[in-house]
């Protein structure tokens, strides 16, 4: 099965998927750069008078509610409608939905405008969206991982989409199939944007491949292994240097590196 994840990465490099992002201003540049490094083409198009048409011409739409403004909220409704008209994949990162009720309410309204393909968040965010008690601090998860797979499956079945919860072990499921990704490094939690960048990569991989479950697993595995390699690079134990190496390692990611993958297929 791991060879299928390698094929997902190759498809990104071969097809250069166009990914529209309506995302937060904290990590927007990181998301654009990580998409470019992976071989995709980012377009941070979010003006409410542009998004309906643009979302119909992209390979994937990435929505991230980290700094959700009223203009972004209006644009997200329009972009979800536009992407849905063409069957373009829609990837949602529900940043801080466990800490800020308005974000969860907006996500529930967005779901009435179109079908999400993937919901990717940290475990605290996923549990909160699933209506399960979650331990969060702002945009961060304090969850130790108990009941993680059950919460992901519950949300996947409720929304009819792939759900991924990141953390020490990443969980990916479509409600039936599931996998656990053991790779990664704790220093990924010491830069802002690791989750946002992971979400952008999920959108890029979904824009180049038809299987959203495998695409999500491949994107998160790529992110985690890039984190391991970035930490091993000179100065990689320092967050600022690590962040630069992370993008470099995404650009260098190949079949050999992906063989580091420790993925449990359930």
Ligand X SMILES: Nc1ncnc2c1ncn2[C@@H]1O[C@H](COP(=O)(O)OP(=O)(O)O)[C@@H](O)[C@H]1O
Ligand Y SMILES: Cc1ncsc1CCOP(=O)(O)O
Kind of pairing, strands 162-166 and 170-173? antiparallel
Residues 6+ apart with CB under 8 A from 155: 119, 126, 129, 130, 163
231 touches which of ligand Y, Mg ion, ligand X, none (CB within 5 to 8 A by kind)? none
Q: Which two tokens stand for residue 114?
A: 């179109």
Stretch that binds ligand X, among 12-20, 37-45, 49-57, 165-173 (CB under 6 A): 165-173
Closest approach, Cβ 196 to Mg ion, in A, equals 6
Q: Round to whole Å and give the CA distance between 201 and 12.
A: 10
The answer to whether 163 and 152 have CB atoms below 8 angstroms apart is yes
Of 5-13, 152-160, 166-174, 200-208, which part binds ligand X (CB under 6 A)?
166-174
| Residue 106 binds which entry of ligand X, Mg ion, ligand Y, none, CB below 5-8 Å type-dependent | none
Binding mask 82-101 for Mg ion (x = CB under 5 A): -------------x------
Contact between 195 and Mg ion (CB under 5 A)? yes
27 binds, among ligand X, ligand Y, Mg ion, none (CB under 5 to 8 A by kind): ligand Y
- Closer residue to ligand X in complex, CB, 186/256: 186
- Residue 169 marked ligand-binding: no
Stretch that binds ligand X, among 57-65, 152-160, 217-225, 250-258 (CB under 6 A): 217-225
Q: How far apart are CA 264 and CA 266, in angstroms?
A: 6
Count of residues near ligand X by CB under 6 A? 18
Whole-number minimum distance, CB 138 to ligand Y, in Å? 7
Within 177-206, the residues that bind ligand X by CB under 6 A are 184-186, 188-189, 194-195, 198
Least separation in angstroms between CB 137 and ligand Y: 11
Residue nearest to ligand X (CB): 195
Q: Which of 266, 175, 256, 179 is nearest to 220 (CA)?
A: 179
CB 129 within 8 A of CB 119: yes
* Nearer to Mg ion (CB atom), residue 42 or residue 195: 195
User: What phi and psi values does residue 171 have, to the nearest 5 degrees?
Assistant: -115, 130
| Residues that bind ligand X in the complex, under the rule CB under 6 A | 122, 140-141, 166-168, 170, 184-186, 188-189, 194-195, 198, 220, 223-224
| Residues that bind Mg ion in the complex, under the rule CB under 5 A | 95, 195
Known binding positions for substrate: 44, 193
């Amino acid at each position: 099965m791991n060879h299928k994840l390698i094929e997902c990465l190759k498809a990104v490099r071969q097809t250069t998927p166009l990914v529209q992002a309506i995302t937060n201003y904290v990590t927007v540049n990181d998301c654009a750069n990580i998409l470019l490094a992976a071989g995709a083409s980012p377009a941070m198009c979010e003006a409410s008078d542009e998004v309906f048409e643009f979302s119909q011409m992209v390979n994937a739409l990435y929505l991230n509610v980290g700094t959700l403004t009223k203009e972004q909220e209006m644009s997200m409704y329009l972009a979800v409608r536009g992407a849905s008209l063409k069957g373009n994949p829609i990837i949602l990162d529900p940043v801080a939905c466990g800490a800020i009720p308005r974000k969860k309410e907006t996500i529930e309204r967005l779901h009435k405008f179109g079908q999400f393909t993937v919901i990717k968040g940290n475990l605290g965010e996923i549990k909160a969206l699933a209506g399960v008690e979650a331990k969060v601090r702002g945009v961060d998860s304090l969850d130790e991982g108990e009941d993680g797979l059950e919460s992901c499956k519950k949300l996947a079945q409720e929304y009819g989409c792939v759900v991924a919860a990141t953390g020490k072990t990443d969980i990916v499921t479509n409600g039936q199939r599931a996998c656990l990704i053991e790779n990664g490094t704790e220093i990924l939690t010491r830069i802002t944007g690791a989750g946002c960048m992971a979400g952008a990569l999920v959108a890029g991989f979904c824009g180049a491949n038809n299987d959203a479950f495998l695409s999500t697993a491949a994107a998160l595995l790529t992110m985690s292994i890039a984190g391991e390699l970035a930490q091993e690079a000179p100065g990689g134990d320092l967050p600022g240097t690590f962040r630069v190496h992370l993008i470099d390692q995404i650009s260098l990611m190949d079949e050999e590196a992906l063989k580091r993958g420790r993925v449990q297929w359930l």
